[in-house]
Amino acid sequence: MTSAGLAISPAQRDALSRWLDHLRALKGAAYNTLAAYARDVGQFLDFLGQHHGGTEGLAALTALSQADLRAFMAHLRGREVAPRSVARKLSAVKNFLAFVADQAETDATAALSARGPKYRRKLPRPLSETAAQDIIAVVGDQARAEWVAARDMAIVTLLYGSGLRISEALGLTGRAHPLPDVLRITGKGGKERLVPTLPVTARAVTRYAALCPFELTAEAPLFRGARGGPLNPRLVQKVMEQARLQMGLPATATPHALRHSFATHLLAAGGDLRAIQELLGHASLSTTQAYTAVDAARLMEVYEKAHPRA
Protein backbone atom coordinates (compact mmCIF):
# COMPACT_ATOMS: atom_id res chain seq x y z
CA MET A 1 0.00 0.00 0.00
CA THR A 2 3.05 2.27 0.26
CA SER A 3 4.15 4.59 -2.52
CA ALA A 4 6.51 3.39 -5.24
CA GLY A 5 8.38 6.71 -5.45
CA LEU A 6 11.99 6.33 -6.59
CA ALA A 7 13.32 8.91 -4.12
CA ILE A 8 12.06 7.09 -1.02
CA SER A 9 14.70 5.25 0.99
CA PRO A 10 14.06 1.75 2.41
CA ALA A 11 14.16 3.18 5.95
CA GLN A 12 11.50 5.77 5.14
CA ARG A 13 9.38 3.19 3.32
CA ASP A 14 9.60 0.92 6.36
CA ALA A 15 8.56 3.81 8.65
CA LEU A 16 5.58 4.52 6.42
CA SER A 17 4.52 0.87 6.59
CA ARG A 18 4.81 0.85 10.38
CA TRP A 19 2.73 4.02 10.61
CA LEU A 20 0.00 2.56 8.41
CA ASP A 21 0.02 -0.63 10.50
CA HIS A 22 -0.31 1.54 13.60
CA LEU A 23 -3.33 3.35 12.14
CA ARG A 24 -4.91 0.07 11.10
CA ALA A 25 -4.37 -1.72 14.40
CA LEU A 26 -4.89 1.03 16.98
CA LYS A 27 -7.03 3.60 15.18
CA GLY A 28 -9.19 1.25 13.14
CA ALA A 29 -8.62 3.24 9.95
CA ALA A 30 -10.50 1.98 6.88
CA TYR A 31 -8.66 0.56 3.86
CA ASN A 32 -9.52 3.52 1.63
CA THR A 33 -8.31 5.94 4.29
CA LEU A 34 -5.02 4.07 4.63
CA ALA A 35 -4.58 4.00 0.86
CA ALA A 36 -5.08 7.78 0.72
CA TYR A 37 -2.59 8.31 3.54
CA ALA A 38 -0.05 6.08 1.80
CA ARG A 39 -0.37 8.09 -1.42
CA ASP A 40 -0.16 11.46 0.34
CA VAL A 41 2.84 10.64 2.54
CA GLY A 42 4.53 8.71 -0.26
CA GLN A 43 4.20 11.78 -2.45
CA PHE A 44 5.79 13.90 0.29
CA LEU A 45 8.69 11.51 0.81
CA ASP A 46 9.29 11.33 -2.94
CA PHE A 47 9.28 15.14 -3.13
CA LEU A 48 11.62 15.39 -0.14
CA GLY A 49 14.22 13.19 -1.78
CA GLN A 50 14.15 15.27 -4.93
CA HIS A 51 14.06 18.54 -2.97
CA HIS A 52 17.17 17.57 -0.98
CA GLY A 53 18.92 16.02 -3.97
CA GLY A 54 18.78 12.32 -3.16
CA THR A 55 17.27 9.61 -1.00
CA GLU A 56 17.56 10.09 2.75
CA GLY A 57 17.05 8.03 5.88
CA LEU A 58 14.94 8.54 8.97
CA ALA A 59 17.34 11.12 10.42
CA ALA A 60 16.28 13.55 7.69
CA LEU A 61 12.62 13.25 8.77
CA THR A 62 13.41 14.21 12.35
CA ALA A 63 15.36 17.28 11.22
CA LEU A 64 12.71 18.84 8.96
CA SER A 65 11.74 22.47 9.29
CA GLN A 66 8.69 24.55 8.43
CA ALA A 67 10.51 25.56 5.25
CA ASP A 68 10.55 21.94 4.05
CA LEU A 69 6.80 21.59 4.50
CA ARG A 70 6.17 24.98 2.91
CA ALA A 71 8.27 23.88 -0.06
CA PHE A 72 6.10 20.77 -0.37
CA MET A 73 2.93 22.88 -0.31
CA ALA A 74 4.39 25.23 -2.93
CA HIS A 75 5.20 22.18 -5.06
CA LEU A 76 1.60 21.02 -4.80
CA ARG A 77 0.19 24.45 -5.60
CA GLY A 78 2.50 24.57 -8.62
CA ARG A 79 0.76 21.43 -9.83
CA GLU A 80 -2.62 23.14 -9.30
CA VAL A 81 -3.64 20.94 -6.37
CA ALA A 82 -6.70 22.49 -4.68
CA PRO A 83 -6.16 24.13 -1.26
CA ARG A 84 -8.47 21.61 0.41
CA SER A 85 -6.38 18.72 -0.98
CA VAL A 86 -3.14 20.43 0.02
CA ALA A 87 -4.47 20.78 3.57
CA ARG A 88 -5.46 17.10 3.62
CA LYS A 89 -2.03 15.98 2.41
CA LEU A 90 -0.28 18.22 4.94
CA SER A 91 -2.41 16.75 7.74
CA ALA A 92 -1.38 13.22 6.76
CA VAL A 93 2.29 14.23 6.54
CA LYS A 94 2.26 15.90 9.96
CA ASN A 95 0.57 12.86 11.49
CA PHE A 96 3.28 10.65 9.99
CA LEU A 97 6.12 12.93 11.14
CA ALA A 98 4.70 12.98 14.67
CA PHE A 99 4.71 9.17 14.64
CA VAL A 100 8.32 9.05 13.42
CA ALA A 101 9.40 11.59 16.04
CA ASP A 102 7.66 9.63 18.78
CA GLN A 103 9.37 6.42 17.66
CA ALA A 104 12.76 8.13 17.50
CA GLU A 105 12.11 10.09 20.73
CA THR A 106 12.87 13.40 19.01
CA ASP A 107 11.08 16.74 18.86
CA ALA A 108 9.15 17.46 15.65
CA THR A 109 7.64 20.74 16.85
CA ALA A 110 9.36 22.82 14.17
CA ALA A 111 7.91 20.87 11.26
CA LEU A 112 4.54 20.28 12.90
CA SER A 113 3.99 24.02 13.38
CA ALA A 114 3.69 24.54 9.60
CA ARG A 115 0.20 25.74 8.73
CA GLY A 116 -1.82 24.55 5.79
CA PRO A 117 -3.63 26.81 3.32
CA LYS A 118 -6.95 28.32 4.28
CA TYR A 119 -9.93 27.14 2.29
CA ARG A 120 -13.65 27.51 2.47
CA ARG A 121 -15.32 24.31 3.56
CA LYS A 122 -17.95 23.10 1.14
CA LEU A 123 -21.37 23.00 2.73
CA PRO A 124 -23.47 19.86 2.25
CA ARG A 125 -26.05 20.30 -0.51
CA PRO A 126 -29.25 18.60 0.64
CA LEU A 127 -32.45 18.24 -1.34
CA SER A 128 -35.68 19.83 -0.19
CA GLU A 129 -38.03 17.51 1.68
CA THR A 130 -40.38 17.43 -1.30
CA ALA A 131 -37.57 16.68 -3.79
CA ALA A 132 -36.15 13.92 -1.56
CA GLN A 133 -39.54 12.23 -1.37
CA ASP A 134 -40.31 12.72 -5.05
CA ILE A 135 -36.99 11.34 -6.23
CA ILE A 136 -37.75 8.01 -4.55
CA ALA A 137 -40.92 7.70 -6.62
CA VAL A 138 -39.14 8.74 -9.81
CA VAL A 139 -36.40 6.15 -9.22
CA GLY A 140 -39.09 3.48 -8.95
CA ASP A 141 -40.45 4.34 -12.40
CA GLN A 142 -37.14 4.03 -14.29
CA ALA A 143 -36.26 0.33 -14.43
CA ARG A 144 -37.96 -2.02 -16.87
CA ALA A 145 -37.80 -5.02 -14.52
CA GLU A 146 -40.15 -4.67 -11.56
CA TRP A 147 -37.70 -6.23 -9.11
CA VAL A 148 -34.93 -3.81 -10.18
CA ALA A 149 -37.26 -0.84 -9.68
CA ALA A 150 -38.16 -2.17 -6.24
CA ARG A 151 -34.47 -2.62 -5.43
CA ASP A 152 -33.59 0.93 -6.46
CA MET A 153 -36.48 2.37 -4.45
CA ALA A 154 -35.43 0.36 -1.40
CA ILE A 155 -31.86 1.63 -1.61
CA VAL A 156 -32.66 5.32 -2.00
CA THR A 157 -35.26 5.01 0.76
CA LEU A 158 -32.54 3.62 3.04
CA LEU A 159 -30.15 6.42 2.12
CA TYR A 160 -32.72 9.11 2.91
CA GLY A 161 -34.66 7.39 5.66
CA SER A 162 -31.66 6.21 7.69
CA GLY A 163 -28.85 8.47 6.48
CA LEU A 164 -26.69 5.62 5.22
CA ARG A 165 -23.72 5.92 2.90
CA ILE A 166 -23.97 3.92 -0.35
CA SER A 167 -21.24 1.56 0.87
CA GLU A 168 -23.18 0.93 4.08
CA ALA A 169 -26.45 0.21 2.29
CA LEU A 170 -24.79 -2.09 -0.23
CA GLY A 171 -22.85 -3.75 2.58
CA LEU A 172 -26.05 -5.14 4.11
CA THR A 173 -26.52 -8.88 3.81
CA GLY A 174 -29.63 -11.05 3.63
CA ARG A 175 -29.46 -11.25 7.42
CA ALA A 176 -30.81 -7.67 7.54
CA HIS A 177 -34.11 -8.79 5.99
CA PRO A 178 -36.72 -8.20 7.25
CA LEU A 179 -35.39 -4.89 8.49
CA PRO A 180 -35.43 -4.57 12.29
CA ASP A 181 -36.55 -1.39 14.01
CA VAL A 182 -32.87 -0.60 14.57
CA LEU A 183 -30.04 -1.54 12.20
CA ARG A 184 -26.47 -2.18 13.36
CA ILE A 185 -24.29 -0.50 10.72
CA THR A 186 -20.54 -0.90 10.30
CA GLY A 187 -19.25 2.42 8.97
CA LYS A 188 -15.88 4.00 8.27
CA GLY A 189 -12.98 2.53 10.18
CA GLY A 190 -15.07 -0.48 11.18
CA LYS A 191 -16.99 1.61 13.71
CA GLU A 192 -20.46 0.35 14.53
CA ARG A 193 -23.53 2.46 15.16
CA LEU A 194 -27.24 1.88 15.63
CA VAL A 195 -29.60 3.44 13.10
CA PRO A 196 -33.40 3.40 13.37
CA THR A 197 -35.41 2.29 10.36
CA LEU A 198 -38.74 3.75 9.33
CA PRO A 199 -41.77 1.57 8.51
CA VAL A 200 -41.73 2.93 4.94
CA THR A 201 -38.12 1.75 4.58
CA ALA A 202 -38.92 -1.69 5.94
CA ARG A 203 -41.84 -1.99 3.51
CA ALA A 204 -39.64 -0.96 0.57
CA VAL A 205 -37.03 -3.60 1.43
CA THR A 206 -39.71 -6.25 1.99
CA ARG A 207 -41.22 -5.54 -1.43
CA TYR A 208 -37.81 -5.79 -3.08
CA ALA A 209 -37.03 -9.06 -1.29
CA ALA A 210 -40.34 -10.56 -2.42
CA LEU A 211 -39.64 -9.66 -6.06
CA CYS A 212 -35.90 -10.42 -6.15
CA PRO A 213 -35.26 -13.50 -8.34
CA PHE A 214 -32.19 -14.51 -6.30
CA GLU A 215 -32.08 -16.27 -2.93
CA LEU A 216 -31.22 -13.74 -0.24
CA THR A 217 -29.12 -15.90 2.05
CA ALA A 218 -27.87 -14.57 5.38
CA GLU A 219 -24.25 -14.13 4.28
CA ALA A 220 -24.84 -12.92 0.70
CA PRO A 221 -25.41 -9.26 -0.27
CA LEU A 222 -28.97 -8.05 0.27
CA PHE A 223 -28.96 -5.89 -2.86
CA ARG A 224 -28.10 -7.76 -6.06
CA GLY A 225 -27.05 -6.85 -9.55
CA ALA A 226 -28.78 -8.12 -12.69
CA ARG A 227 -26.80 -11.39 -12.60
CA GLY A 228 -27.17 -11.97 -8.90
CA GLY A 229 -23.80 -10.63 -7.76
CA PRO A 230 -23.17 -7.66 -5.46
CA LEU A 231 -24.67 -4.43 -6.77
CA ASN A 232 -22.13 -1.95 -8.14
CA PRO A 233 -22.37 1.49 -6.43
CA ARG A 234 -22.01 3.11 -9.84
CA LEU A 235 -25.44 1.75 -10.80
CA VAL A 236 -27.01 3.56 -7.83
CA GLN A 237 -25.27 6.76 -8.89
CA LYS A 238 -26.55 6.28 -12.45
CA VAL A 239 -30.11 5.77 -11.22
CA MET A 240 -29.87 9.05 -9.30
CA GLU A 241 -28.42 10.82 -12.34
CA GLN A 242 -31.37 9.76 -14.47
CA ALA A 243 -33.90 10.81 -11.83
CA ARG A 244 -32.08 14.11 -11.33
CA LEU A 245 -32.25 14.93 -15.03
CA GLN A 246 -35.90 13.95 -15.20
CA MET A 247 -36.76 16.22 -12.27
CA GLY A 248 -34.52 19.09 -13.34
CA LEU A 249 -32.43 18.93 -10.16
CA PRO A 250 -28.83 20.20 -9.94
CA ALA A 251 -25.76 17.99 -10.29
CA THR A 252 -25.42 18.01 -6.50
CA ALA A 253 -28.46 15.70 -6.26
CA THR A 254 -26.36 12.57 -5.75
CA PRO A 255 -26.94 9.48 -3.60
CA HIS A 256 -24.82 11.10 -0.88
CA ALA A 257 -27.09 14.16 -1.02
CA LEU A 258 -29.83 11.93 0.38
CA ARG A 259 -27.66 11.37 3.47
CA HIS A 260 -27.15 15.14 3.70
CA SER A 261 -30.91 15.59 3.36
CA PHE A 262 -31.55 13.10 6.18
CA ALA A 263 -29.33 15.10 8.54
CA THR A 264 -30.52 18.54 7.47
CA HIS A 265 -34.20 17.69 7.70
CA LEU A 266 -33.70 16.11 11.14
CA LEU A 267 -31.94 19.25 12.34
CA ALA A 268 -34.67 21.49 10.90
CA ALA A 269 -37.25 19.42 12.78
CA GLY A 270 -35.45 20.10 16.07
CA GLY A 271 -33.11 17.11 16.16
CA ASP A 272 -30.23 17.20 18.65
CA LEU A 273 -26.82 17.73 17.02
CA ARG A 274 -25.13 15.07 19.16
CA ALA A 275 -27.84 12.54 18.30
CA ILE A 276 -27.47 13.32 14.58
CA GLN A 277 -23.70 12.86 14.94
CA GLU A 278 -24.31 9.38 16.34
CA LEU A 279 -26.81 8.50 13.61
CA LEU A 280 -24.41 9.58 10.87
CA GLY A 281 -21.38 7.93 12.46
CA HIS A 282 -19.28 11.11 12.42
CA ALA A 283 -16.12 10.82 14.50
CA SER A 284 -16.09 14.56 15.18
CA LEU A 285 -18.95 16.85 16.08
CA SER A 286 -17.38 19.56 13.91
CA THR A 287 -18.27 17.47 10.84
CA THR A 288 -21.90 17.34 11.88
CA GLN A 289 -21.93 21.06 12.70
CA ALA A 290 -21.70 21.77 8.95
CA TYR A 291 -25.43 21.05 8.86
CA THR A 292 -26.15 23.96 11.19
CA ALA A 293 -24.59 26.25 8.57
CA VAL A 294 -26.80 24.68 5.92
CA ASP A 295 -29.89 25.23 8.04
CA ALA A 296 -28.95 28.86 8.67
CA ALA A 297 -28.28 29.40 4.97
CA ARG A 298 -31.71 28.01 4.06
CA LEU A 299 -33.33 30.21 6.68
CA MET A 300 -31.67 33.31 5.21
CA GLU A 301 -32.74 32.29 1.72
CA VAL A 302 -36.37 32.05 2.86
CA TYR A 303 -36.05 35.38 4.69
CA GLU A 304 -34.62 37.17 1.65
CA LYS A 305 -37.40 35.83 -0.58
CA ALA A 306 -40.02 36.97 1.91
CA HIS A 307 -38.35 40.35 2.45
CA PRO A 308 -36.70 41.36 -0.83
CA ARG A 309 -34.36 44.31 -0.72
CA ALA A 310 -35.52 47.55 -2.26
Q: Which of 94, 177, 244, 259 is catalytic?
A: 259
DSSP code for 251: T
191 catalytically annotated:
no
The answer to whether the bond into 124 is cis (omega within 30° of 0) is: no
- Opening angle at CA 262, ends 258 and 264, nearest 5: 110
Rounded Cα distance between 69 and 67, Å, is 5
291 catalytically annotated:
yes
120 catalytically annotated:
no
Q: Measuring CA to CA, which residue among 162, 180, 169 is closest to residue 263?
A: 162
CA distances from 165 to 47, 155, 189, 210 (A): 35, 10, 13, 24
Residue 8 CB burial class (10 angstroms; 0-12, 13-18, ≥19):
buried
Q: Which of 165, 177, 224, 260 is catalytic?
A: 165
Q: Which of 51, 188, 193, 203 is catalytic?
A: 188
Count of C-beta atoms within a 10 Å radius of residue 24? 17
Q: Which of 39, 193, 203, 256 is catalytic?
A: 256
Q: Taking the CA atoms of 73, 77, 81 and 87 in sequence, report the sign of the dihedral they define.
A: positive
Q: Which of 94, 224, 244, 282 is catalytic?
A: 282
22 catalytically annotated:
no
188 catalytically annotated:
yes
Which residues participate in catalysis according to the annotation?
A: 165, 188, 256, 259, 282, 291
